[in-house]
Amino acid sequence: MFKYEVIKQDTKTNARIGRFSTPRGVVETPVFMPVGTMGTVKALTPEEVRSAGSQIILANTYHLYLRPGMEIIKKAGGLHKFMNWELPILTDSGGFQVFSLSTMRKVTEDGAHFNSYIDGSKHFLTPEKSIVIQQILGSDIIMAFDECTAPDIGWEQSKQALERTIFWLERCKEAATNKEQMLFPIVQGNMYKDLRIESIKKSLPYAKCGIAIGGLSVGEPKPVMYKMLDALYPYYPIDMPRYLMGVGSADCIVEGVIRGIDMFDCVLPTRIARNGTAMTMQGDITIRNAAYKEDFSPVESGCDCYTCRNYSRAYIRHLLNTDEILGGRLLSYHNIYFLHRLTSLLRQAIIEGNIDEFAAKFRANYVY
Told to judge if 230 belongs to the known catalytic residues of this protein, a careful annotator would answer no
Vertex 180 angle, CA 178 and 186, to 5°: 75
* CB contact burial 276-302 (16+ within 10 A = b; e otherwise): bbbbbbeebbebbeeebeebeebbbee
164 — phi, psi (to 5°)?
Answer: -65, -40
**Catalytic member of 10, 146, 262, 265:** 265
**Catalytic member of 92, 140, 146, 262:** 92
Q: Which long-range contacts (CB under 8 A, 24 or more apart) does 225-230 make?
A: 225/252, 226/255, 226/259, 227/193, 228/189, 228/191, 228/193, 228/196, 229/255, 229/256, 229/259, 229/260, 229/261, 230/259
- Nearest CA to 165 out of 208, 133, 116, 198 is that of 198
Cross-strand pairs, 28:
19
Told to judge if 356 belongs to the known catalytic residues of this protein, a careful annotator would answer no
> Which residues are known catalytic residues?
92, 265
